[in-house]
Structure 1
């Protein structure tokens, strides 16, 4: 029952099959083909542009800081030369000509008979201390500003994702497992934040250090600098090969994380159902399978990328040996001073260290770019069509007309074909039919949750595609079979449909829908807190609150999708009277499976496979002895058989 979707050569994930209209847990994952590392990295870097002024300041501070840090070893080498020359000068008798000095020290700044000038050494050390303190302060300031830039960038990214979600069509959420979507919005953005925060400062400093140190190395000894550079192509080649193998692993890791989150969210949401049917072992086995797959790809990603650091250290040690040997020979030949060789060795370490740091950040950078790639897939998803300019506002009569409407969720599976009907103002239109016949789809089209393929739908004579969606939906009150409540008080949940409602209006809606009857039994009344699932209320009580919410909106068009399915028979009877009053002077669409609840409807539509096969009143359809009569008789026959048993 699962279809495999193509992602990347390194990863295939089994996604649960589903289709539009099946809820958030149906359908496969979004973003089937991973983008390349470089385009995704460039796009992530481009998001830093709004803070380009601060970014330029960060670069300037980094340049000065790195320049100071790079000059330090050269000056410190001068202190070594002072100490070494003083030590050698102490060994040579005063007045000895240079021709009689040891060959290794000829040409050096040695004064025969003079020892170490500790004042000069102290002066040099104070200069070096001041340089390092200044470099550290500038480095701290650079990090502070860069952190501000990164956090602003991530905050903007989160806001863009939030805005994007509000512009996505309902079909996107129908196709995307909820856990997978949550993983992109939370885990992936957090990983991007961590990556930028940990890599940007080090990466910038490391790159500038490489160039600064390289310049100092050529200044001291071009030969030794060329020797040190021999290892750079080796480092780049090794890093490129490892990155090539590990990037796909990181993409797979985060896709697997999304798949695991989807399974966990689904299992927790349906925890009671899992218990009822005793499917704990199957759920645990599925979790273990997903967890093992995530562990495998995570191990592969971390292990492969982890090879970069030891490889770079090995190459760096080879470089250190070559520099030490050749430098010692040049000191022995008098071509370099001991302080210059000491400074060069420090530079060679400073040269390989940032390269090693860059290499060690590659795995974190790859992980962050892989997460950014998934976030960009969300940001690039197709949005709802933009509302037409100069859009017309709907009226308040509530006349709805379908004119030769055709619609399909999938290209090769037509659902509604050439459907026409008119719902007059004040009429109650009931829609009945077997599961999958298109009943809920019909009201989804009225709400413009989906756009039709052909024909048109009008509200009070105005094509709904010519209306702003917000204006259209503000005229509609909708009560679904699934009761969606929000964390807050009962009062807040009722007022959600009309935030500006007064206390009297909220109480009137609650009394009309019999919410007031059970609220007084709660300790805090209307201020009683409920969680987002309403677990501290019964299913019927939750549904009463959603009906009260629709009452409060005072809509021109009312849509009830099995709105009384979770209430008891007595409450349902009371609600029927209340909704009859609510439906006065407004058009109502009622989707019902229990045909006893829609006997008084002005018009009953019987749908099969997306088409209206019958329409009329209850009595007319029973007299026709067609599809409606068969549905009606099957329900009451089943009830009668049940009573006999």
Structure 2
């Protein structure tokens, strides 16, 4: 709240004002009843009615600005926290996302934060206000008649005990509610994203039953929370009725004994409601606070996650040649289940390196650790002779562009999907890159051309068209190192032939690393590395590896024979 001190202190002042004026109306009614109504003074009664109207209008104005200030404060704070959470998430390692359901993060960033906003708009300051009002009213009551006040407070221990039981029960219920909200979001996100698979395999009914089970658990958690409310608030009403009965009984005796005036009893009847209303609201606000604290714990769990790629490097060379050296590199995703084992190789500036091998051999892991999406456990990776950990992280990644097999496109225009909202990239550069890749003609046939709005994940484009856009994206960022991770595997033969020349043009003057299952696409590579179970088995050119009569030759002959058939 520190950046919003002004709004915060305004809220505090308005809260104090509301508490200060709370007993004013009962005092006016007490004074009016004893001095004007019982004495049949109509002119004085009119004057007091005007004073009461003015008081009510004043309270309404104060309450309006109080509500406005607390909500503005809450929404500003939540906006800042949401930005902080999103910024934190975008800087986490990919390993964190490998182990964390997407729906869980969505719940943290949206649903849980909305719950926290209630702490400010309906919780913390409101609780302070209710407590102040309670103290002020009890003070006035004790000052007016301490014996009558003590009679009214006789049922209070029962209320304290009921409140404690309710508080403990509600905390458990709220944890369950937030947990099942998160489970619902996770289930929905995964199944909507994978709807094609569900329908391909006719799993609609089975998945519906799973969803129904989660939905029932979510419903049961809410019902349990509401059940506690349904028990607690009638108990409060009974306690209020007991206090009212005691007041009427003892107050009537005092009036008959001429110990107090009727106005005092009427005022105390109003005080009872004004005491119990803040207590009821305190319980309600406390539940808001409880739910907010549960959500806060879940958000702080994300914010306290330190799964960052260390960005302690400061090296920012003005020019990068693109020499890559792997020196005794060992890497594992979990513990010491090594994915790469003592990997050694070098790539000269401008060379093209091809990585081949069976699925899971370690090819994609090699390019992931080069960009420091994952950290190696042993060894050193150098770029232009400098350990990549000494580079400033964004500077390192700005020199590397990767085209993946699974292209991700945002629900945005083609132009923005290519530039990623980088203002330094002009439309002319995008058009030039599109022509170079061979995608210009198909883009211009779309409604709006480069302003065509792509649907989520590029659903309205073919896989080949989406892949072409990813090539343009890589080209306009002008990388020193170009990585193609099976980038032509989802493209038909005709489209592959169309862009192969463009790929060759893209590689000119750049260090390139190519992962491909189609060995026909890597025959021109300056160096081919054959991986098997995380180890380098063979290194050489296409002709050199065929001459060895080893793993590569067997793989090549297998593909050649399958194509001949």
CA shift for structure 1 position 629:
3.0
2:31 paired residue number: 78
Residue 564 of structure 1 corresponds to: 488
Shift in CA distance, 195/59, structure 1 to aligned 2, threshold 3 Å: closer
Offset of residue 457 of structure 1: 0.9
- Whole-angstrom CA distance in 1 between matches of 2:240 and 2:558: 82
Number of residues paired by the alignment?
565
Q: Which residue pairs with 1:10 in the alignment?
A: none
**Does 2:183 match 1:259?**
yes
Distance 1:527 1:126 in 2: 65
* Alpha-carbon distance change, 85 to 277 in structure 1, aligned in 2, over 3 angstroms: closer
What is the aligned-residue RMSD (CA, Å)?
A: 2.1
Structure 1 pair 293/625, CA: closer, same or farther in 2 (3 Å)?
farther
Taking structure 1 as reference, are residues 503 and 61 closer, same or farther at Cα in structure 2, changes over 3 Å only?
closer
1:359 Cα deviation after fit:
1.5
**Aligned-residue offset at 1:343:** 0.8
Of the three residues 92, 106, 112, the one matched with 1:188 is 112
Q: Which residue of 2 aligns with 1:622?
A: 546
Distance 1:81 1:481, change over 3 A: same
The equivalent of 2:352 in structure 1 is: 428
* TM-score (norm: length of structure 1): 0.83
Change (3 A) 1:152 1:492: closer
Q: CA deviation at 1:394?
A: 6.5
Q: Does 1:67 align with 2:20?
A: yes
- Distance in 2 between residues matched to 1:551 and 1:497, nearest whole Å: 15
Q: Are 1:494 and 1:549, in contact at CA under 8 Å, matched by a contact in 2?
A: yes
- Measured in 2, the distance between the counterparts of 1:609 and 1:234 equals 70
- Distance in 2, matches of 1:549 and 1:216, equals 72
Question: Any stretches of 5+ residues in structure 2 without a counterpart?
Answer: none
Q: Within the alignment, does 1:527 sit opposite 2:480 as a pair? A: no
More helix per residue: 1 or 2? 2
- Within the candidate set 465, 476, 479, 1:541 is matched to 465
CA contact (8 A) 2:309 2:374 kept: no
State the secondary structure of the residue aligned to 2:409: coil
- Corresponding residue for 2:530? 606
The separation in 2 between residues aligned to 1:498 and 1:611, in whole angstroms, is 39
- Residue equivalent to 1:405: 329
Residue in 2 aligned with 1:57? 10
The answer on whether the counterparts of 1:76 and 1:125 sit within 8 Å (CA) in structure 2 is: no
Q: Which has the larger radius of gyration?
A: 1
Counterparts of 1:330-345 in structure 2, within 5 Å, are 330-345=254-269
Q: Which residue of 2 aligns with 1:249?
A: 173
**C-alpha distance in structure 1 between counterparts of 2:212 and 2:442, whole Å:** 44
Q: Cα gap change, 1:497/1:630 in structure 2, threshold over 3 Å: closer, same or farther? A: farther
Decide whether the 8 Å contact of 2:325 with 2:345 is kept in 1: yes
Residue aligned with 2:446, SS = coil
Gaps of 5+ in 1: 1-47, 87-115
Q: Give the match's secondary structure for 2:258.
A: coil
Corresponding residue to 1:464 among 363, 380, 388: 388
Residues 1:455 and 2:408 aligned together? no
Q: Equivalents in 2 of 1:522, 1:417: separation in Å?
A: 48
**Corresponding residue for residue 411 of structure 2:** 487
TM-score for both structures, normalised by structure 2: 0.94
Q: Among 398, 423, 439, which residue is 1:474 paired with?
A: 398
Residues in 2 aligned to 1:352 and 1:540: alpha-carbon distance in whole angstroms:
68
State how far apart, in whole Å, the 2-side matches of 1:220 and 1:569 are. 94
Equivalent of 1:304, from 225, 228, 242?
228
Q: CA deviation at 1:226?
A: 1.9
1:351 positional shift:
0.7
